[in-house]
């Protein structure tokens, strides 16, 4: 099955994740349950080709060096996806997570009112922690969206990878991606 077709099916079925692993068919997580897309298991070579096809040269170099790479891709007319490519059992594999393009509001996420105050803080550092898939990126995007709509200024985000694409509204939003726009979080913070 073509990679672009897998992404389209993922969006049509409302899947949150797509799993590409040798020896099993491509599988998707829908409503918390993982199931195969079809009956045909992927070969090691097919998985390697799929993984490499999602990467640019910089990402391939990183993958070759560290055996893992995280980045975001856009499929025109389909959506954006966060990719986690890795080696496992001496074979390539990857998991893609669908990134919602519409940034939800703080109210839609049912976050407490204190998060609005936190989003408007002028100085300091906000640290969000939690397990994969618990809403950290979405919550932060909603906070940036809230600040963007309710103030003026310059918002800088340093991300790996950039997930939500913010539009300038009340604020100018600078989004920097580690490995693309800067070499590291440390360097980006020092030059902010």
Which residues touch 89 (CB under 8 Å, ≥6 apart)?
A: none
| 92/99 Cα distance (integer angstroms) | 22
H-only helix segments in the chain? 3-12, 44-53, 57-66, 114-119, 136-150, 185-190
Query: CATH top-level class for 3-99?
Result: alpha beta
Of 63, 53, 56, residue with least CA distance to 7 = 53
Dihedral sign (CA 103, 109, 114, 115): negative
**What does the block give as tokens for 187?**
């360097």
pTM for the model stands at 0.74
- CA distance linking residue 36 with residue 137, whole number of Å: 27
In the chain, domain spans: 3-99, 114-190
Give me the tens of pLDDT residue by residue for the chain, a chain 192 residues long: 789 999 999 999 999 999 999 999 999 999 999 999 999 999 999 999 999 999 999 999 999 999 999 998 989 889 999 999 999 999 999 999 998 888 999 999 999 999 999 999 988 777 778 887 788 889 999 999 999 999 999 999 998 888 899 999 999 999 998 988 999 999 998 888
Query: Distance of alpha carbon 187 from its chain centroid, rounded?
Result: 22
Torsion over CA: 132, 133, 136, 140 (sign): positive
């Amino acid at each position: 099955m073509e990679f672009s077709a897998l992404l389209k099916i993922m969006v049509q079925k409302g899947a949150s994740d797509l799993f590409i692993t040798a020896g099993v068919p491509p599988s998707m997580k829908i409503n918390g349950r993982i199931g195969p897309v079809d009956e045909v298991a992927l070969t090691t070579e097919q998985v390697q080709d799929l993984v490499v096809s999602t990467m640019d040269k910089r990402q391939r170099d990183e993958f070759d060096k560290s055996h893992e790479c995280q980045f975001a891709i856009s499929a025109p007319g389909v959506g954006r996806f966060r990719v986690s490519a890795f080696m496992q059992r001496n074979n390539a594999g990857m998991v893609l997570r669908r990134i919602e393009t519409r940034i939800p509001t703080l109210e839609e996420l049912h976050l407490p009112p204190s998060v609005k105050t936190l989003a408007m803080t002028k100085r300091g550092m906000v640290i969000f922690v939690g397990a994969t898939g618990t809403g950290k990126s979405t919550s932060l995007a909603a906070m940036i969206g809230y600040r963007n709509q309710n103030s003026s200024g310059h918002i800088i985000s340093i991300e790996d990878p950039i997930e939500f694409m913010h539009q300038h509204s009340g604020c100018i939003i600078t989004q920097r991606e580690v490995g693309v726009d800067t070499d590291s979080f440390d360097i980006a913070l020092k030059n902010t």
